[in-house]
Amino acid sequence: MTDWQWFFIDILQAFAAGVLVGGTYGLMCVGLGIIFGVMRVVNFAHGDFMMLGMYAAYYLVTGFGVLAFLGPYAAPIAGALLAGPIVFAIGWLMHRFLIANVTGARVISAEAEGHYAQIILTLGIALVLANGGLILFGSLPVSVQTPLSRESWEIGEVLLNKARTVGFVLAVALALLLYMFLTRTSLGKALRAAADNPIAAAYVGVDVDRAHRLAFGLGVGITAVAGGLIASSQSFQPYIGFDFVIVMYAGVVLGGMGSILGAFWGGLTIGLVQQMSTLVLPYQLQNTAIFVVFLLIIFFRPQGMFGRVWERT
């Protein structure tokens, strides 16, 4: 084959990898998007909840091997899915005892003052989780062991990593399920109402604090599942959350802050950007490319692809 054909295959390969990775990023961003959409809270600890999801999957599958009986193919999938309820419970408790103090109906109409406390509180939670993770889990990078991550399907010359492909399919399926939950069930509709206009939702009888607790648990739980899915194709350590916070915010901002569907497309786009950037940039600068894209988005289109302009005079 000629150089040009190889180059073309490289592009296709990067594109395929981008879509596959992007699917899980999209699911992650949906989790963050729910929290931002419903609560208007910038959750800095979101990446660290994802990290908890990764370790939950790791200990269930590889560490303690509780799920080993499912075999090397099904166990990582079950582990990732189980990470969801575990982190949901942690998030629910965090909201109940910490975050509810600085969010909710009484501060939602307050201007900058309220956000100040929220950002700082979630930063504190992030530090405790990341460093607590260092104490509990150690600093050595680990990953969920599965033959899936070493095997690929071949389509023409393009290789599709099995772990990533399975992750993509599950992520899309979960995102669709979530979409149905939000549009079909009354609970989901109440959540969307609270996201659309928290004050009006409170007036028509949506229990804002309860909606927030649910949204927070759901948001971190979904992201934890996405983390669990990534855990089998990437090694991680307790500090990984801070890198992913930017990845996720890039996706959410790109999709339009407040738009839950938009968050999925935003995350997918960020995955593409990250993988395509390897064609022109050295591997170490992958994340730098995301940061640059993130900055470009907020400078030129802060309302994102699906969002609307919030600020009014």
Binding region for other proteins (CB under 8 A)? 42, 44, 98, 101-102, 112, 115-117, 119-121, 123-135, 138-139, 238, 242-243, 245-246, 249, 253, 257, 282, 284-285, 287-288, 291-292, 294-295, 298-299, 302, 311, 313
Q: What CA–CA distances, in Å, run from 241 to 53, 67, 216, 223?
A: 11, 25, 17, 11
- Closest approach, Cβ 297 to other proteins, in A, equals 10
Q: Are 38 and 258 in contact (CB under 8 A)?
A: no
- Closest approach, Cβ 140 to other proteins, in A, equals 11
The residue among 157 and 196 lying less far from other proteins, judged by its C-beta, is: 196
Nearest by Cα to 201 from 114, 264, 109, 263? 109
- Closest approach, Cβ 106 to other proteins, in A, equals 14
- Closest approach, Cβ 111 to other proteins, in A, equals 8
DSSP strands (E only) in the chain: 152-155, 158-161
Tell me the torsion sign for CA atoms 257, 259, 260, 261: negative
The residue among 165 and 237 lying less far from other proteins, judged by its C-beta, is: 237
The residue among 1 and 112 lying less far from other proteins, judged by its C-beta, is: 112
Strand partners, 236: 142
Strand partners, 152: 161
- Closest approach, Cβ 80 to other proteins, in A, equals 25
The residue among 45 and 260 lying less far from other proteins, judged by its C-beta, is: 45
The residue among 98 and 160 lying less far from other proteins, judged by its C-beta, is: 98
Helix pair angle (240-255, 286-300), 10° resolution: 30
